[in-house]
Amino acid sequence: MPGPLPCRAAKALHWLPSCRQEAAALETILVDEEVTLRPFDVRDAAAFFELIDSNREHLAQWIPAFGFVQTLEDERVALRGMQTQLREGDIIGGAIEYLGHLVGAASISGLRSEGQPAALGYWIIEPVQGRGIATRVCRALIDEAFSERGAKQVEISAPTQNARSRAVADRLGFTLDGVRPQAFRCGGRMHDLAVYSLIAADWTSPAG
Ligand SMILES: CC(C)(COP(=O)(O)OP(=O)(O)OC[C@H]1O[C@@H](n2cnc3c(N)ncnc32)[C@H](O)[C@@H]1OP(=O)(O)O)[C@@H](O)C(=O)NCCC(=O)NCCS
């Protein structure tokens, strides 16, 4: 396992030169006393692969990308890609740890896509559902995206039948923009996709 990275609480810095942004992307976010978000790191590949492999059914029912993670090497490649995107400032996010245990991941991507909403994605394993972990992590990530990365809008897309994911969007104050019929293939069939958004002006930082 990698050694501890420098930590900082989720707080508004408003503007950072690009080199400091890169450094910030590689720091752990202390979400609260129970939950941390540690930047994607290829050294976590084995731990992630084990978690994904033992929770495959739960995860792959809604996130088709897990179907492409069949070996440890697949996970290494995926994490290397995400590490690069972290350094380039295109995404923020990483491994969710709950009471010191790896339980999932969350990220906001598309931060350098001018004029496009950034996209929020998240997953946790089934046994730790129902504790607000995903909501708490996403709140910290959104705050970072709006307060420090200059994001103007964040989007969540969830199959209409994914009630737990839609509840996260609702809890975070996202607005349902609409439903795209049969727009998402997962689990061997097409799903209607609920698209939610949140704009920076409507965001209230948890830091006050
Ligand atoms: C989507 C997913 C992350 C939601 O997980 P979740 O546990 O329902 O969401 P949270 O971790 O935010 O927990 C919310 C629950 O904790 C409760 N809770 C407890 N403390 C809380 C707190 N401090 N803040 C918010 N909610 C809290 C909420 O009331 C809610 O309870 P409920 O399950 O009885 O409604 C999870 O189901 C998952 O990973 N699914 C598979 C992958 C997936 O679908 N990803 C999204 C693709 S679009």
- Structural domains in the chain? 7-151 (3.40.630.30)
Over residues 56-78, mean pLDDT: 95
Confirm or reject: Cβ of 132 under 6 Å from ligand 1: yes
Residues 6+ apart with CB under 8 A from 101: none
User: What pLDDT, in 10s, does the model give residues 136-163?
Assistant: 999 999 999 999 999 999 999 999 999 9
Average pLDDT over residues 50-66: 95
Average pLDDT over all residues of the chain: 89
Tell me which residue of 95, 89, 85, 81 sits closest to 28, measured CA to CA: 95
- Site to substitute for ligand 1 among 135, 168, 176, 196, most atoms within 8 A of C-beta: 135
pLDDT at 55 over 90: yes
State mean pLDDT over 68-97.
96
CA dihedral 56, 140, 82, 77 (to 10 degrees): -30
For ligand 1, whether the C-beta of 164 sits within 6 Å is yes
pTM: 0.90
Dihedral angle over CA of 15, 8, 41, 157, nearest 10: -60
Ramachandran area for residue 106 (φ above 0: left; ψ -120 to 50: alpha; else beta): beta
Contact assessment for residue 74 and residue 62, using Cβ atoms and an 8 Å cutoff: no
